[in-house]
Chain A
Amino acid sequence: MASARQTIVDPAARFETRAATREAPWVKWTLIVIALSFFALFLLMPLAAVFAEALRKGWAAYFAALVEPDALAAIRLTLVAAGIAVPLNLVFGVAAAWAIAKFEFRGKHFLITLIDLPFSVSPVVAGLVFVLMFGAHGWFGAWLNAHDIKIIFAVPGIVLATVFVTFPFVARELIPLMQAQGREEEEAAIVLGANGWRTFWHVTLPNIRWGLLYGIILCNARAMGEFGAVSVVSGHIRGETNTMPLQVEILYNEYQFAAAFAVASLLALLALATLGIKTWVERRAGRASRTIQDDASS
């Protein structure tokens, strides 16, 4: 492990060692100081403030805020929403990437643009569309009401909004990755007699596992943290339709700052864990691709 780490040299070294691509030390350090000050001011301080505010009234108040029934209900609902949205978009993402990366068909670029669409739609609009469809005055409102089915201001609406905003994550990670890998390996497996599922399971999946994991954790982070879209469809019923971000909002608006930041700190920890796993995956994936290159060149 240690030897593997030693062989990874900071790629910046190749710039710093050549006279033609090197700046004077004062230029270098001035740029670093300005860039890092900006980084600290806009990224580090907001992160640190979450934990400082959460612990302002001490650890006892912190834990009391987290085991409060409404907070627990919010945590449970967040896990349910992400637990439904992420697998659904995982299946969709793999199917979309398989169709787009392994086959040629007309309108492919247009399809990729459509898949990316939820990223460019405001979260508030993402929530609104489901109110327009399933709300009391929506297209299906009367029918749903007659059959006593609640979607808006209930859990199904929250799940739908979450699925919408996390829609592209897995697909957009996998499409470029699977395009770059081509289809020779899969074709070889099929020609040698493997069926489609076996080919996918034993040939495709090992090749895309890091990209898949990457897409899943980003998808999950967004699913658990989504605020705007979920806020529109939730109705903010305490203990019933509040996800963690909505619980943060309610507590904050009631001036229960320490409690709001306590719940927020859990979400911040989730964000840090996401970034940690993401960095680890990137390093593993980078090392895997380097090994492939080494094999190819040797």
Chain B
Amino acid sequence: MARTARVLPGFGPALGLTLTWLSLIVLLPLASVFLKASSLSLSEFWSVVSAPRVAASYRLSFGMSFAAAAINAVFGLMLAWCLVRYRFPGKRLVDALVDLPFALPTAVAGISLTALYAKNGWIGQYLDPLGIQVAFKPLGVMVALVFIGLPFVVRTVQPVLEELDIEHEEAAASLGAGRWQTFRRVILPVLLPALLTGFALAFARAVGEYGSVIFIAGNIPMVSEITPLMIITKLEQYDYVGATAVAEVMLLISFASLFIVNGLQAWAARRTGRDR
């Protein structure tokens, strides 16, 4: 880039402050995880992070996060569609409340969902006679993860849907396509990158989620323990190295998902012609 004279002042102090604060609060603390975990040999590390109880927690965390993100992709898309395309009473209120999971503290969501799905709860009392138990079961983990993930899908799909060109749909209609055909062949391909981004964001958030899950999960070893809980359990036993090893696995997953989300967003930007 050409070195043009900078008219605006303050670049040095602003960048300096940014880098200092970033290093002190985020980078240095995160580096401590990798430093601490490096005190283990590779085989010791592997035996900690692949222990049966920890492995069971990966299966639960990933499986339920995937299921919840998939449910949110379907219903989140539907909700975004209704908010953009249709007029109906109470729409503004619905639009505002979609962000509730961002604003409601996770612990509050956790105890509230547990109360709803317990055997005598508003929802649980109807599910119990059907033999469906949600609270204190793996299914409860999924319900909590659906709650916290919904806005990610709605809020990534909604703006793309709003800026969609009507002309494409009119062209499809004039060529004789039905609405379903137009949706599948014309709208969905444009929406797909945003939908996948929303899915990935919801999934990434779900894997790391703690507060809303621990109350409803029941936390039974091998059955309904999520991976973040394994870190807490190890910390409570003063097993700092073990906790750090599991944390390192989770951090690597976080970095991977960040990488994937960035790629998806770049794809979405190219596909829709919007800049980020």
Q: Give A residues with C-beta under 8 Å from B.
A: 10-16, 18-21, 23-24, 27-28, 31-32, 34-36, 38-39, 41-47, 49-50, 53, 91-92, 95-96, 98-100, 102-105, 111, 113-118, 120-125, 128-133, 135, 137-139, 160, 163-164, 167, 176, 183, 186-187, 190-191, 195-196, 199-200, 218, 221, 224-228, 231-232, 244-246, 248-249, 252, 257, 260-261, 264, 267-268, 270-272, 274-276, 278-279
Bound complex: CA A111 to CA B106 (Å): 29
Q: Does B42 contact A (CB under 8 A)?
A: no
Partner of B33, one of A128, A137, A228, A271: A128
With A124-B208, A132-B240 already in contact, the answer to whether A32 and B86 are too (CB < 8 A) is yes
What A residues does B102 contact at CB under 8 A?
Answer: 218, 221
Q: Is B78 in contact with A34, judged by CB distance below 8 angstroms?
A: yes
Q: Is B99 in contact with A275, judged by CB distance below 8 angstroms?
A: yes
Q: Is A129 in contact with B30, judged by CB distance below 8 angstroms?
A: yes
A46: nearest residue on chain B (CB-CB)?
B112
Q: Is B240 in contact with A114, judged by CB distance below 8 angstroms?
A: no
A194 to chain B, nearest CB (A): 10
Q: Is A16 in contact with B87, judged by CB distance below 8 angstroms?
A: yes
Docked complex: B1-38 residues within 8 A CB-CB of A: 1, 6-11, 13-15, 17-18, 21-22, 25-30, 32-33, 36
Partner of A122, one of B17, B25, B162, B254: B254
Bound complex: CA A21 to CA B113 (Å): 38
Q: Is B87 in contact with A98, judged by CB distance below 8 angstroms?
A: no
Interface range for B: 35 or more
What A residues does B32 contact at CB under 8 A?
Answer: 129, 132-133, 138-139
Q: Is B228 in contact with A186, judged by CB distance below 8 angstroms?
A: no
Bound complex: CA A195 to CA B10 (Å): 10
Bound complex: CA A113 to CA B259 (Å): 9
Q: Is B228 in contact with A191, judged by CB distance below 8 angstroms?
A: no
What B residues does A133 contact at CB under 8 A?
Answer: 28-29, 32
With A92-B17, A122-B208, A252-B215 already in contact, the answer to whether A53 and B87 are too (CB < 8 A) is no
Bound complex: CA A221 to CA B88 (Å): 30
Taking A32-B82, A49-B115 as given, write out 18 further A-B residue pairs in contact, using a Cβ cutoff of 8 Å, ordered by the A residue number. A10-B87, A21-B85, A32-B88, A39-B97, A42-B147, A46-B109, A46-B147, A115-B18, A124-B231, A128-B231, A129-B29, A195-B9, A225-B106, A227-B211, A245-B105, A264-B105, A271-B103, A272-B103
What A residues does B100 contact at CB under 8 A?
Answer: 43, 47, 271, 275
Q: Is B108 in contact with A225, judged by CB distance below 8 angstroms?
A: yes
Bound complex: CA A30 to CA B87 (Å): 13
Q: Is A99 in contact with B18, judged by CB distance below 8 angstroms?
A: yes
What B residues does A11 contact at CB under 8 A?
Answer: 84, 162
Q: Is A14 in contact with B257, judged by CB distance below 8 angstroms?
A: no
Can you list 24 A-B contacts with CB-CB less than 8 angstroms, sorted by A residue number?
A11-B84, A21-B85, A32-B82, A36-B94, A38-B78, A39-B79, A43-B98, A46-B104, A47-B104, A49-B115, A50-B112, A102-B8, A105-B15, A121-B251, A125-B250, A132-B33, A163-B25, A183-B8, A186-B8, A228-B106, A228-B211, A228-B228, A260-B111, A267-B107
